[in-house]
Structure 1
Amino acid sequence: MINEIVKNLQKGKSLLVDISQEQYCDKSIPPYYSSIGGHVRHILDMFQCIFTGYPNGVVDLTKRERNINVETFPSYGLEYLENIIQHLLNLKVSELDLSIEVVDDLGNGNCTVKSTLGAVLAQAQSHTIHHYATIGYMMHHLDICLHDDCFGLNPTTPKIKVLKN
């Protein structure tokens, strides 16, 4: 599980290395007018909440860092990404069964649920894929080409074969 999460996050690494700061900060794409950098920061903040909270048994997803430098400069995003990957690689498989409480605002104030570290990491993985898909949409409209044709696709998504005329 950890290796799959790391592999997925590393897809973001090639994006952060290849994208210009202007593209990273561009907020011109409707309907949300957010930036690629904002999505990258949001993805990594979720993982940071996990790593900050799980040693104490409480992961509070509402306490995101929201570092403006991470969403403004690809180099900060890359550093943050590498830090998150290192945290993942330092985890022991036995820790995935650790019981934790997860706090999040589901739309009507904070809610706390019992979970495990593995479950919240699986949630963060799914969350990352979702935001990578949004980033892929934005890249398409900004004419940014990435060499990974699976960027933003859930591994369970059927692969569509394009027929050439």
Structure 2
Amino acid sequence: MIFLQLSAQLNSLSQLLSKLTNEQYSNKIEHLANSSIGSHTRHIVELVKCLVDGYQKNEIDYINRSRNLSLETDKIQAQNALMQLDSSIRLADKQLRVIVEESVGNEKQEVFTTFYREIIYNTEHTIHHLALIRVALIEMKLDLVDANFGIANSTIKYKQGIQNE
């Protein structure tokens, strides 16, 4: 089903958070422009939440989404948000509007999409940030995730296919 990959990514992040101390979670990583695992987690949570919240309004505005900076330092709050999102993403597909900024000036314009397409976008976006979190773990010399953490499902299948040849 369309939600399985996003759900798996949210759960793998939540499992990682349970292994981290608050200090590790909020540690600024030089090679990630001084962002932290917490800041990447917050960003993931906020974009998925923006999609779920926008579902009822038929409109998603990722740019002007609400931001909750406490998610960057409170890993328990972040884990709770991840669990809540995982239980709320299984909705029927429908057409939605995404608000985008015009490249010139402050004018906004709409792009039409579907909920399922945005689930796919959020899945890929989450994987991207998990890959960055993996860089943070490497820099902190923490071996806390499996080899597939932050890797797209299609890449995992491709690599398995090569190994089986």
TM-score (norm 1): 0.86
Q: Distance in 2 between matches of 1:106 and 1:150?
A: 37
Letter in 2 for 1:82: M
Tell whether 2:121 aligns with 1:104: no
| 1:30-78 CA-partner distances (Å, limit 9, x unpaired) | 2511011000000010011111111111011113222121111111110
Name the structure 1 match of 2:81: 80
Give the partner amino acid of 2:159.
K
Task: Identify the residue that residue 126 of structure 1 maps to in structure 2.
Answer: 124
Look up the SS of the partner of 1:113 in the other structure: strand
| Residue segments in structure 2 that go unaligned for 5+ positions in a row | 161-165
Structural mapping, 1:34-45, within 5 Å: 34-45=35-46
**CA spacing shift, 1:133–1:55, aligned 2, 3 Å:** same
Deviation at 1:145, TM superposition (A): 1.4
Percent identity, please.
27
CA contact (8 A) 2:32 2:132 kept: no
The residue correspondences of 1:10-25 to structure 2 (distance < 5 A) are: 10-25=11-26
Letter of the structure 2 residue corresponding to residue 159 of structure 1: K
2:32, 2:136 within 8 Å by CA — same for their partners in 1? no
Task: Give the CA deviation at 1:112.
Answer: 2.0
1:64 aligns with 2:65: yes
Query: Over the residues paired in the alignment, what is the CA RMSD in angstroms?
Result: 1.8
- Three-state SS of the structure 2 residue aligned to 1:148 is coil
Change (3 A) 1:107 1:141: farther
User: Could you say which residue in structure 1 is the equivalent of 2:159?
Assistant: 159
Distance in 1, matches of 2:143 and 2:40, equals 18
1:136 to 116, 127, 134: 134
CA distance in 2, matches of 1:99, 1:150: 32
**Is contact 2:29-2:139 (8 Å) kept?**
no
TM-score by length of 2: 0.86
Change (3 A) 1:70 1:106: farther
Q: 1:49, 1:63 within 8 Å by CA — same for their partners in 2?
A: no
In terms of mean alpha carbon deviation, does 22-31 or 51-60 score higher?
Answer: 22-31
What is the rounded CA distance, in whole Å, between the counterparts of 1:67 and 1:31 in structure 2? Answer: 20
- Determine helix, strand or coil for the equivalent of 1:132: helix
Residue 44 of structure 1 aligns to which amino acid in structure 2? V
Code of the residue aligned with 2:62 in structure 1: it is L
For residue 96 of structure 2, give the secondary structure of its aligned residue in structure 1.
strand
